[in-house]
């Protein structure tokens, strides 16, 4: 028995260590203190109760005391002198019956309140409660500087029904470094493991977990009350996607990152001034490699150390809300890296990942795939999603790589994947997980956005009707088609006309977001501006036209940082955006156009209110491929509040171009992407044009317009009446 304690192999250390009644007259205290030369048992007032006897040369001490058992402390004699500690083995479990029941069921969606490390008080003594799921381990210990990283010193208590190990360590507090030492069933001690529920992590190469207790006082009550009551699909959504590490760098500090607080002072006012409604941040969960951009998370509950402490991240989110800006964070439940200190082979078995590499290893990214068929793993991820929504007040989660979850043969060749029980390629466990995730997040007032790259049906339809239950889905097909079209020389665009119209055949099958994301400005694709054909003038005119078309097309909007001022270079995550380009009238013009577009969009219900129903859109003419011109109507809930959109995708000015409209009267030219202020030629309609009683395009009235070259027009009737 003593030998097993000393070797760190005892299956139930709490049955040996700490206080135990041994006879009708005596109780025993046993402690393992290998660093101590002597140990005494004292009471809370410091009175000696017993000198402990060394019963094993490695440092195991024991003493017998007369009953009754009462609170005590241990006085240690060490090389540095004497110190008094509380005995962690005299404290009972803090994990309740209900917690264990819900864990076993896989429905404990507040796991983050129970697992991990939590400063707390037990029997009037302050310390830290540690809990970790490792059902196949022979032994789990908390290690850190407080015990010289010695796994024999603090082996934990196992709750075998749920596979959770837990322990209260008195005397520890916020800021302590720690890891878990796990011994597998084969007797092998694994590399030290970071806590899967750690709320802070040490930078590499240490990668230790850090005990954290938030003291942040939120100021966004009004925002939360207004935005968490219901999901409003009829509101404007113009998203600025940003990588915090490269939006702007501090060159005076050696090109260093801006902190969360500095970003609150610079990024948030910029986004507000530009008129965006939301910021979407690339993943900010802890990740070991900068070049993964956060998409290989190793600390799912820890905000990254790169920009500051967790409460400083909360300050950034709070500041967004105080400025009326929603916050979306990329969230990665599809895979995780193989780093030995992380989730991989966590308890000596394939715990979080599939054991079969045909299911558990991602061929594209070299990462491991969560075993979503295991209720504890599904529970872990859903608890994590709610953690970011509740603890950090994140408004929405953009769920990465959904297609890789849904398909068992995703990016795999024949023979490299395992079919489901019906012989198909659908991942039923992932489908169940996603439906439960979305239902649970929605119940807590959050929004979910799917990055799903296939034609999987009903991604943004409720689970009860057979859908996956996401709030929105990225329309990657629209992005691919329209970028392919706009990259064509205008002389050839008539042969690719359907690339701009095809999206409307399925535009209302999902609640779509139209993304121009970070994935489109990396890996040799060039920037959005670099795709544009022609000379400098034409490149910028095409860019302004394309952005205008984006903002008038049904669907919410997303644009990656730098595109809003036409950065010509590909995104480099190690460098700041090229802000100096704003000294150029070309780039400043694009930025001004985007600022005006955002404000016009937010102020014009016809451009956002009926995004996901056919009633909000009507083609005027989608067949003028010879002139590469598209014209259409956007309508609000009140169909009389319509706007007319006309896009000329050639560098030719079209005079007296007739466009049918549903109402008589004058139409104000509320936006013209060819305006001189944006760097355009200034062609247009002198601010307004009167509808003629000339039928066209199936309407009784029509406008005779001057269409600027490579430009988009938005017009609205001055006196509404249909």
The residues carrying an active-site annotation are 400, 451
Tokens of 105: 């069921």
Q: Please state, in angstroms and rounded to a whole number, the distance separating the CA atoms of residues 36 and 43.
A: 19
Nearest CA to 358 out of 377, 371, 348 is that of: 371
What are the beta bridge partners of residue 633? 618, 644
193 and 286 assigned to the same domain: no
352 and 465 assigned to the same domain: yes
> pLDDT tens, 202-227?
999 999 999 999 999 999 999 999 99
Nearest CA to 4 out of 77, 70, 67, 58 is that of: 58
pLDDT value, residue 722: 40
523 and 619 assigned to the same domain: yes
- Give the pLDDT mean for 95-111: 91
The answer on pLDDT for 279 being more than 80 is yes
- Is 667 within a domain? yes
Say which CATH number the domain at 664 has.
2.60.40.1180
Residue with tokens 């299956």: 11
Nearest CA to 427 out of 437, 417, 436 is that of: 417
- Is 529 within a domain? yes
- Is 557 within a domain? yes
- Is 676 within a domain? yes
178 and 289 assigned to the same domain: no
List the domain range (segments joined by +) for residue 40.
2-90
Q: At a CB cut-off of 8 Å and minimum separation 6, what does 609 contact?
A: 234, 616, 636, 637
Tokens of 215: 């003291």
Say which CATH number the domain at 155 has.
2.60.40.10
What are the beta bridge partners of residue 133? 164
> pLDDT tens, 420-455?
999 999 999 999 999 999 999 999 999 999 999 999
pLDDT band at 69; cut points 50, 70, 90:
confident
> Do strands 164-170 and 157-159 pair parallel, antiparallel, or not at all (unpaired)?
antiparallel
Strands, E assignment, 186-309: 200-201, 209-210, 238-242, 249-250, 256-257, 278-281, 285-286, 299-303
Say which CATH number the domain at 308 has.
3.20.20.80
409 and 545 assigned to the same domain: no
The answer on pLDDT for 238 being more than 70 is yes
166 and 195 assigned to the same domain: yes
pLDDT value, residue 721: 44
Query: Which of 415, 440, 474 is the last residue before a domain boundary?
Result: 474
- Is 220 within a domain? no
417-422-428 Cα angle (round to 5): 70
- Give the pLDDT mean for 355-361: 94
- Give the pLDDT mean for 100-116: 92
Q: Please state, in angstroms and rounded to a whole number, the distance separating the CA atoms of residues 398 and 295.
A: 12
pTM of the entire structure? 0.95
> pLDDT tens, 132-168?
999 999 999 999 999 999 999 999 999 999 999 999 9
The domain tally of the chain equals: 4
585 and 680 assigned to the same domain: yes
pLDDT value, residue 719: 62
φ, ψ at 634 (rounded to 5°): -115, 135
SS3 assignment, position 62 = strand
581 and 498 assigned to the same domain: yes
> DSSP string covering 537-556, please?
HHHHHHHHHHHHHHHHSSSE
> pLDDT tens, 374-420?
999 999 999 999 999 999 999 999 999 999 999 999 999 999 999 99
391 and 419 assigned to the same domain: yes
Tokens of 645: 């959109």
Query: Which of 156, 191, 210 is the last residue before a domain boundary?
Result: 210
Residue with tokens 């317009």: 705
Query: Which of 90, 114, 137 is the last residue before a domain boundary?
Result: 90
φ, ψ at 298 (rounded to 5°): -115, -20
Q: b vs e for 198-213, b when ≥16 Cβ sit within 10 Å of the residue's Cβ?
A: bbbbbeeeebbbbbbb
Nearest CA to 136 out of 109, 162, 171 is that of: 162
297 and 197 assigned to the same domain: no
Q: Please state, in angstroms and rounded to a whole number, the distance separating the CA atoms of residues 200 and 196.
A: 11
431 and 573 assigned to the same domain: no
- Give the pLDDT mean for 263-285: 98
């Amino acid at each position: 028995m003593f030998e097993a304690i000393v070797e760190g192999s005892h299956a139930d250390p709490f049955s040996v260590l700490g206080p135990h009644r041994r006879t009708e007259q005596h109780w025993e205290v046993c402690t393992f203190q290998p660093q101590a030369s002597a140990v005494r048992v004292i009471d809370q007032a410091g009175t000696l109760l017993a000198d402990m006897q060394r019963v094993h040369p490695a440092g195991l001490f024991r003493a017998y005391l007369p009953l009754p058992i009462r609170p005590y402390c241990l006085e240690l004699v060490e090389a540095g002198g004497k110190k008094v500690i509380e005995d962690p083995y005299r404290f009972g479990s803090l994990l309740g019956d209900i917690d264990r029941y819900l864990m076993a069921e896989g429905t404990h969606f507040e796991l983050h309140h129970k697992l991990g490390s939590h400063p707390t008080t037990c029997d009037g003594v302050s310390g830290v409660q540690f809990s970790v799921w490792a059902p196949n381990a022979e032994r789990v210990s908390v290690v850190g500087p407080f015990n010289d990283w010695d796994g024999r010193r603090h082996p934990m208590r196992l709750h075998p029904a749920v596979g959770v190990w837990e322990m209260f360590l008195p005397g520890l507090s916020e800021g302590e470094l720690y890891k878990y030492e796990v011994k597998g069933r084969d007797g092998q001690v694994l590399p030290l493991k970071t806590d899967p529920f750690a709320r802070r992590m040490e930078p590499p190469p240490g990668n230790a977990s850090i005990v954290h207790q938030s003291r942040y006082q939120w100021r966004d009550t009004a925002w939360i009350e207004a935005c968490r009551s219901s999901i409003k699909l009829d509101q404007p959504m113009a998203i600025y996607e940003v990588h915090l590490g490269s939006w702007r760098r501090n060159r005076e500090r050696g090109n260093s990152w801006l902190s969360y607080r500095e970003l609150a002072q610079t990024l948030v006012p910029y986004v507000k001034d530009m008129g965006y409604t939301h910021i979407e941040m690339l993943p900010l969960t802890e990740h070991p490699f900068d070049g993964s951009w956060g998409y290989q998370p190793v600390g799912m509950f820890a905000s990254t150390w790169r920009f500051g402490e967790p409460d400083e991240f909360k300050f950034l989110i709070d500041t967004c809300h105080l400025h009326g800006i929603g916050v979306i964070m990329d969230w990665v439940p599809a895979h995780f890296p193989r780093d030995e200190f992380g989730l991989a082979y966590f308890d000596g078995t394939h715990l979080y990942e599939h054991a079969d590499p045909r299911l558990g290893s991602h061929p594209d990214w070299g990462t491991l795939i969560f075993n979503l068929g295991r209720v504890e793993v599904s529970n872990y991820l859903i608890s994590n999603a709610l953690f970011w929504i509740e603890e950090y007040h994140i408004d929405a989660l953009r769920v990465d790589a959904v297609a890789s979850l849904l398909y068992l043969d995703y990016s795999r060749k024949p023979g490299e994947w395992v079919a489901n029980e019906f012989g198909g390629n659908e991942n039923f466990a992932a489908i169940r997980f996603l439906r439960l995730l979305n239902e649970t997040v929605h119940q807590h007032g959050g929004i979910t956005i799917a990055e799903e790259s296939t034609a999987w049906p009903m991604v943004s339809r409720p689970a009860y009707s057979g859908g996956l239950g996401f709030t929105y889905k990225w329309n990657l097909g629209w992005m691919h088609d329209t970028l392919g079209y706009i990259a064509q020389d205008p002389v050839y665009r008539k042969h690719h006309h359907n690339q701009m119209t095809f999206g409307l055949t399925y535009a209302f099958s999902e609640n779509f977001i139209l993304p121009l994301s970070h994935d489109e400005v990396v890996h040799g694709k060039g920037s959005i501006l670099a795709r544009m054909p022609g000379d400098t003038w034409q490149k910028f005119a095409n860019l302004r036209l394309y952005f205008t078309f984006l903002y008038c097309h049904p669907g919410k909007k997303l644009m990656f940082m730098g595109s809003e001022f036409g950065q010509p270079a590909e995104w480099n995550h190690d460098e700041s955006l090229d802000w100096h380009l704003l000294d150029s009238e070309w780039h400043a013009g694009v930025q001004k156009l985007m600022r005006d577009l955002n404000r016009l969009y937010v102020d014009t219900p016809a451009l956002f209110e009926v995004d996901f129903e056919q009633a909000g859109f009507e083609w005027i003419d989608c067949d003028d491929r010879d002139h590469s011109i598209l014209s259409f109507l956007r309508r609000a809930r009140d169909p009389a509040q319509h706007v007319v959109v006309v896009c000329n995708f050639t560098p030719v000015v079209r005079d007296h171009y007739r466009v049918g409209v549903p109402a008589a009267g004058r139409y104000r030219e509320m936006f013209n992407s060819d305006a001189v202020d944006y760097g355009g030629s200034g062609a247009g309609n002198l601010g307004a044009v009167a509808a003629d009683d000339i039928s066209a395009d199936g309407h009784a009235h029509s406008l005779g317009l001057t269409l600027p070259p490579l430009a988009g027009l938005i017009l609205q009737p001055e006196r509404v009446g249909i």
